[in-house]
Amino acid sequence: MLAIIDYRMGNIFSVFNALKRVCNAPPRIFTVSEGSGGERAADMPSALASVTVSGEIHDFLEEMEGIVLPGVGAFDDGIRNLQPFRAALLKAISEGVPFLGICLGMQLLFEESEESMFGRDSSQRKNEGEKGLGIFRGKVVRLHADVRVPHIGWNRLHIHRPSALLEGISEGDFFYFAHSFFCVPANDVVVATTEYGSEIPAVVSNDSETVFGVQFHPEKSSKKGLQIIKNFVKICKK
């Protein structure tokens, strides 16, 4: 069974539905109550209530076959909201539980964000900023000034190296993007890129291919996006 982390950073229903289509068992949604830091059953529509769980997050995540971290919005808000899950996520990742970060979920895998340090005005430093999960070395920076921000739309994928996550995906296939910032890795973790003013990492992974990040939204990318979801589920079953 797979886990979806609900840290109140965007609509998780499309991710849930995509996973449900390809999983033998519906994914479980993990959430926490606002302000208390304690686990509880999420306030979900009735269609999802039966698969939302509560309990000890550490224990549940270690039992999962894989973990998905979706997300849209600001880096600072995301990493703060993720704090109740942080230790459990890092432990599960260190033990080899397959992990997929989507959009903001990918960015939170890195060490820091320009958005966090400077806000929207890059000329004035705001503070030291919130620190990311640090699974990948590098930072997150704002899209270049010569392109429309945010980047919303379909872009081609350029594959740099083979990956189990991209099985059945071809050079030039289109995926749906919606973001204002992008990742700049400090080491060689890039699996695929897209072009938007410059070359932007679109897929990253660690050497063992247990941790993945995608800047696009596979759950909104039609058949090719669903193939990405299928591939991740297949990885989780190994």
Q: Which residues belong to the active site?
A: 103, 217, 219
Residue 57 CB neighbours (<10 A): 22
Closest CA to 175 of 235, 233, 106, 236: 106
How far is 21 from 95, CA to CA, in rounded Å? 27
CA dihedral 60, 236, 185, 29 (to 10 degrees): -40
Contacts of 121 (CB under 8 A, 6+ apart): none
How far is 91 from 81, CA to CA, in rounded Å? 18
3-state secondary structure 20-75: HHHCCCCCEEECECCCCCCECCCCCCHHHHCCEECCCHHHHHHHCCEEEECCCCCH
How far is 219 from 222, CA to CA, in rounded Å? 7
How far is 170 from 3, CA to CA, in rounded Å? 28
